[in-house]
Amino acid sequence: MMTTLTDKEFELFKHLIYQQVGITLDVPKKTLLVSRLGKRLRELNLSSYQAYYDCVSGKGGEDELMKLLDLVSTNKTDFFREPGHFDFLRDQILPEVKSTRTLRIWSSASSSGEEPYTIAMTLSDAIADIKRWDIKILASDISTRVLAKAASGIYEEERVSQLPKDLVQRHFLCGKGAQAGKLQVRPQIAGLVAFRRINLMDPTFPIRSPLDVIFCRNVMIYFDRPTQGRLMEKFFRYLRPGGYLFIGHSESLQWIDHQFTYLRPTIYQKPVSVKSEA
Ligand SMILES: C[S@@+](CC[C@H](N)C(=O)[O-])C[C@H]1O[C@@H](n2cnc3c(N)ncnc32)[C@H](O)[C@@H]1O
């Protein structure tokens, strides 16, 4: 039997999702919610969306809530997606930090790991004496499912089919036997990245030293303007003066209040004259 998602139930889910992860579901997303949640209802043998809502919002519903958040969020990503940011990192930022040989980077919506591993590969290729550097790339996401995939560092071969062959050979190990057709990020790349679950809606983040760079790409697009504004205030606090913020190609800070200096589309800088509060 087809179960209908009533307007009232849609509003309940919309509010819960906004409260938990800041994602705004507009009315056209109702169809998406129905198609994604319908399957879950059948798996759990529940007869209504209200019953599912009671399950995720009630006591002990944390695990199912995580599954719901996974169902509504989009994890699309790629190695070397929007490559201009990695060129900027190599050509502009690296020379600036060369004297300290220290780099702190946060990939704040890292999805299944392609973005932070691309950062690590870029640095590894650009820094000849990388073993003498102190580099930490923090990669985080709200979704434990994508974080587990990211931490494994294992990808289908087709995920890297567009990358230069020599780059793939340098940075990936080829799977054999049961792992044939898969590649694993080499330990020297994986060792630069630490994964953890962080919700960008949290008032503070578990980050101690001021950051040189924050990647926050292709997630703000799901947040409303007040939420984006609050996030920019937090990022501003955690960056060192002169630190950089990269956002996604379809995102902009144009309509929100912020203190960053605009450098070029999708690249912003915290002014050098501001003291870090992190
Ligand atoms: C489209 S992916 C972007 C991946 C990568 N940054 C890129 O540009 O290729 C968006 C990611 O944001 C994550 N996300 C959504 N809401 C979040 C939140 N409140 N806190 C942390 N991550 C969130 C999703 O789980 C998803 O993996």
Please name the residues in contact with 214: beta carbons below 8 A apart, sequence gap of 6 or more. Answer: 105, 106, 108, 235, 238, 239, 243, 244, 245, 246
Q: How far is the CA of 129 from the centre of ligand 1 (A)?
A: 32
CA distances from 62 to 53, 58, 192, 266 (A): 12, 8, 31, 35
Q: Which atom of ligand 1 is nearest to the CA of 248?
A: 8
Q: Is the CB of 218 under 6 A from ligand 1?
A: yes
Q: Is the CB of 146 under 6 A from ligand 1?
A: yes
Q: Is the CB of 73 under 6 A from ligand 1?
A: yes
36 is known as an active-site residue: yes
Q: Is the CB of 219 under 6 A from ligand 1?
A: yes
Sequence ranges of the chain with CATH classification 3.40.50.150: 84-147+185-269
- Whole-structure pTM value: 0.94
Residue identifier of the C-alpha nearest atom 7 of ligand 1: 77
Q: Is the CB of 76 under 6 A from ligand 1?
A: yes
Q: Give the containing element (helix H, strand E) for 183.
A: strand 182-185
Q: What is the pLDDT of residue 274?
A: 64
Q: What is the pLDDT of residue 27?
A: 76
202 is known as an active-site residue: no
Q: What is the pLDDT of residue 74?
A: 87
pLDDT tens, 53-82? 999 998 888 889 888 988 888 899 999 999
Q: Is the CB of 23 under 6 A from ligand 1?
A: yes
pLDDT in tens, the chain (278 residues): 567 889 999 999 999 999 999 998 877 788 888 888 888 999 999 999 999 999 999 888 888 988 898 888 889 999 999 999 999 999 999 999 999 999 999 999 999 999 999 999 999 999 999 999 999 999 999 999 999 999 999 999 999 999 999 999 999 999 999 889 999 999 999 999 999 999 999 999 999 999 999 999 999 999 999 999 999 999 999 999 999 999 999 999 999 999 999 999 999 999 998 655 55
Residue identifier of the C-alpha nearest atom 27 of ligand 1: 111
C-alpha to C-alpha distance for 22 and 212, rounded to whole angstroms:
25
Q: How far is the CA of 109 from the centre of ligand 1 (A)?
A: 4
Please name the residues in contact with 97: beta carbons below 8 A apart, sequence gap of 6 or more. Answer: 103, 212
Q: Which atom of ligand 1 is nearest to the CA of 199?
A: 20
Task: Retrieve residue 87's tokens.
Answer: 């060129």
Sequence ranges of the chain with CATH classification 1.10.155.10: 7-72
Which CATH number does 7-72 carry?
1.10.155.10
Domain range 84-147+185-269, its CATH number among 3.40.50.150, 3.40.50.300, 1.10.3720.10, 1.10.260.30 = 3.40.50.150
Q: What is the pLDDT of residue 123?
A: 98
